[in-house]
Structure 1
């Protein structure tokens, strides 16, 4: 009975607070890591081997297009991450609340995975796909002259895509994006919770506030597995988003056709192109995001849980 009363009185973190914490963390992540994302995109779109690796790609972009080119697509990327993390963190909290055991208030491992997968699918459909289509179109452009570029900015890019390809053009590559994000978030939320418990004995709602370095370590480790598992989905997503219907017949007809075509033409390892820059971006990005998010959530826990009257 005492344990049940403890569960009943346990205060939970409201979804809106998790959404706010995620949006702040996403903005900080985008500002710090945009160059790595540009390099990843260029490597994934490199059919001819023009770039010899990460360093060669970054120096080539800097010399031929200027250092500012490494921040191409920052506006849609920052907006995308801010909205994505708000939706991801908020929807995951809502789903976890719905899937908790009604009697004990506990969340099973399966329910945690399903909550993460659902949050990833939702963000992929609502936010990630159209924003990444615009971002990739901007990042694949080469040259120093702004006047000669097809897309003048994110708004012009989105308008041009809709004009040439219809609204559906903004949702190119939806299937691999859904698979990538759903799998990633199922793994990430589960792993973050596990590492918090194993490393720091931290459990949600216990009033304990992680130090920034602890959040950074847990976030980094939680963000490391996804890129390896979802590499082919990310490459296919980038290829599908980059191709244009205005140039005639599409090379890739869909997710499975793209996977088989890339494998036949470029080999198995090509399905993991851009993996190293993804590993350079996603785990540090999760470290940055969770450091910010945990501190925002920690302020709530300190005020309303740790210091709450018994």
Structure 2
């Protein structure tokens, strides 16, 4: 179900990614549906394992950081830390797929052709160009939608907010944090992957951040923030809604088994 949630989010919000990449690279914003959805196949194939890895690693980290039985009684800080580690780990999956998607959106080639040409032009290790930026971005992004979202929602529930109100407000808060805090790293990653080794000023994360500030000022680090923030806020709703249903389903399935195991023998 996590994989389905990630794939659903990608299909619905692919245009936001296309607009964001174009704005960060300085290209005209695509208007043709074919251009907008270029890279969708790889995006779907990668988003499922990215989402699953974030949910899975987050669960493991919560078990390690929790103070109660089976990793319960997590503080807000512990939830954020667990989610951040989960996001950083998923950068290993996100980096190669996003690199090819960006190259594909720039060239207009089919996925198979883009991958063949890329691997013939660059070393295999080049597929991880921008990894440090992706890890930093995914860490802060996951920290918002996996770490802060449940904290905000719990606070709103305690204040007597309705379930729908707490879902909406917590989603906006967690999504906004994830988008704003992580966007400079996303902008640097996009530039590094778009220009590859053609422009030495985008060789590393720090040099890329510095070059963007020199060219466009500090606000240049947040180029394309509006479409990405829109995507992240909506993705926070989608993914946490599915995550909540998964947890509820598992608890409902576990309850009858525990009741049977705890029943007295006749």
Assess same fold via TM > 0.5: yes
CA distance in structure 2 between the partners assigned to 1:188 and 1:262 by the alignment: 27
Note the alpha carbon deviations across 1:105-133, whole angstroms, 9 max, x for none.
422333322211211111002x0111111
User: What SS class does the counterpart of residue 200 from structure 2 fall into?
Assistant: coil
User: What SS class does the counterpart of residue 88 from structure 1 fall into?
Assistant: helix
CA distance in structure 1 between the partners assigned to 2:179 and 2:23 by the alignment: 15
Aligned to 1:278: 228
Aligned to 1:120: 87
- Root-mean-square deviation (CA), in Å? 2.5
Question: Are the structure 2 counterparts of residues 220 and 199 from structure 1 closer, same or farther at C-alpha, using a change threshold of 3 Å?
Answer: same
Question: Are the structure 2 counterparts of residues 82 and 211 from structure 1 closer, same or farther at C-alpha, using a change threshold of 3 Å?
Answer: farther
Aligned to 1:230: 182
CA distance in structure 2 between the partners assigned to 1:211 and 1:71 by the alignment: 34
- Is 1:86 the counterpart of 2:44? The answer is no
Question: Which is helix-richer, 1 or 2?
Answer: 2
Which 5+ residue runs of structure 1 have no aligned equivalent?
1-20, 52-56, 142-148, 202-209
The structure, 1 or 2, with the larger RCO (C-alpha pairs under 8 Å, 6+ apart) is 1
Number of residue pairs aligned between Structure 1 and Structure 2 = 256
Aligned partner (choices 190, 200, 206) of residue 256 of structure 1: 206
What is the TM-score of this pair, normalised by structure 2?
0.86
What is the TM-score of this pair, normalised by structure 1?
0.75
- Is 1:291 the counterpart of 2:249? The answer is no
Aligned to 2:2: 22
Matches within 5 A, 1:140-219: 140-141=106-107, 149=108, 151-153=109-111, 155-200=112-157, 215=167, 218-219=170-171
Please tell me whether the aligned partners of residues 158 and 170 of structure 1 are also in contact (alpha carbons under 8 angstroms): no
